[in-house]
Structure 1
Amino acid sequence: MHDDADELADLIGALYDSELPAMRPLDPRNPERARGAMKLARKYEVESVRARIIRRMEADWPQDVLEWLRLIGDIKRRTELRTMLCRTGTSSDPEPDAFVPEPASAVRFAREFDVPSILPAAFYTLALADIQQDWDETRVSRPFAAAQWRLLDQEDTMRLFRGKSKLRAAASAMVKVPFPGESYCTDCKDSRLPRVFSEKWSTYLTSGGFEGGVALADAPDIIGILLSCLELLEGRGSQFAGMCETHRILYRKFVSAKLHHEWESLSEKFQLR
Structure 2
Amino acid sequence: MDGLAIVADVPRIERHPDLYFDNGDVVLRAPISSEGRILKYQLFCVRKVVLSAHSDVFCNLFADASENVGPAYDGKPLINMVDEATEVSHLLLYLYDPSRYLLRASHPDTPLELIGAAKLADKYVMPRVRAAMVRRVAMDWPTTVDQWDVRQAEIRALEELITRADYPRYIVVAQRTPEPVAAINFAHAHGCPEILPAAFYRLATINVGKEWSLLDQFPHPSVTLFARWPLCANEDLLRCMRGEQALADYHAAVYERIRSAEPLAERCRAPYGVGGGYWNGRPSALSQCAHFLQTLCEARWGQVPTDDPLKALADLLDYRSTMDDFLPVGAFSAGLCDECEAELALWVTQERMALWGRLSDHFKLK
Q: TM-score, normalised by structure 2?
A: 0.62
The amino acid across from 2:293 in the alignment is F
Matched, 1:52 2:110: no
Residue aligning to 1:199: 295
In structure 1, C-alpha distance between the alignment counterparts of 2:100 and 2:125, rounded to whole Å: 17
In structure 2, C-alpha distance between the alignment counterparts of 1:221 and 1:143, rounded to whole Å: 14
Could you give the per-residue CA deviations for residues 112-158 of structure 1, whole angstroms, max 9, x where no partner exists?
222211111111111111112212114374443x3111011111111
Residue aligning to 2:68: none
Q: 1:82 to 1:45 in 2, by over 3 A?
A: farther
The amino acid across from 2:361 in the alignment is E
Q: 1:221 aligns with which of 278, 300, 308?
A: 308
In structure 2, C-alpha distance between the alignment counterparts of 1:20 and 1:95, rounded to whole Å: 20
Report the more deviating stretch, 256-265 or 97-106. 97-106
Matched, 1:128 2:215: no
Which of the two has greater strand per residue? 2
Could you give the per-residue CA deviations for residues 198-234 of structure 1, whole angstroms, max 9, x where no partner exists?
43135533345xxxxxxx3xx52111111111222xx
Task: Mark the runs of 5 or more structure 2 residues left unpaired by the alignment.
Answer: 5-80, 272-277, 279-286, 325-332
Matched, 1:29 2:129: no
Residue aligning to 1:213: none
Residue aligning to 1:264: 357
Matched, 1:181 2:265: yes
The amino acid across from 1:104 in the alignment is V
Deviation at 1:67, TM superposition (A): 0.7
Does the Cα contact within 8 Å between 1:34 and 1:53 map onto a contact in 2?
A: yes
Structure of higher RCO (CA pairs closer than 8 Å, 6+ residues apart): 1
Residue aligning to 2:53: none
Residue aligning to 1:119: 196
Aligned CA-pair RMSD: 2.8
Identity of aligned residues (%): 29
Q: 1:106 aligns with which of 183, 187, 202?
A: 183
The amino acid across from 1:263 in the alignment is W
Does the Cα contact within 8 Å between 2:112 and 2:183 map onto a contact in 1?
A: no
Does the Cα contact within 8 Å between 1:7 and 1:37 map onto a contact in 2?
A: yes
The amino acid across from 1:66 in the alignment is D
In structure 2, C-alpha distance between the alignment counterparts of 1:28 and 1:70, rounded to whole Å: 18
In structure 1, C-alpha distance between the alignment counterparts of 2:335 and 2:302, rounded to whole Å: 26
In structure 1, C-alpha distance between the alignment counterparts of 2:114 and 2:140, rounded to whole Å: 13
The amino acid across from 1:95 in the alignment is V
In structure 1, C-alpha distance between the alignment counterparts of 2:86 and 2:212, rounded to whole Å: 26
- Three-state SS of the structure 1 residue aligned to 2:360 is helix
Q: 1:229 to 1:51 in 2, by over 3 A?
A: farther
The amino acid across from 2:237 in the alignment is T
- Three-state SS of the structure 2 residue aligned to 1:261 is helix
Does the Cα contact within 8 Å between 1:10 and 1:37 map onto a contact in 2?
A: yes
Does the Cα contact within 8 Å between 1:22 and 1:33 map onto a contact in 2?
A: no
The amino acid across from 2:178 in the alignment is P
Q: 1:143 to 1:121 in 2, by over 3 A?
A: farther
Q: TM-score, normalised by structure 1?
A: 0.80
Q: 1:249 aligns with which of 334, 337, 342?
A: 342
Deviation at 1:40, TM superposition (A): 2.3
Deviation at 1:22, TM superposition (A): 5.1
In structure 1, C-alpha distance between the alignment counterparts of 2:335 and 2:167, rounded to whole Å: 43
In structure 2, C-alpha distance between the alignment counterparts of 1:88 and 1:203, rounded to whole Å: 32
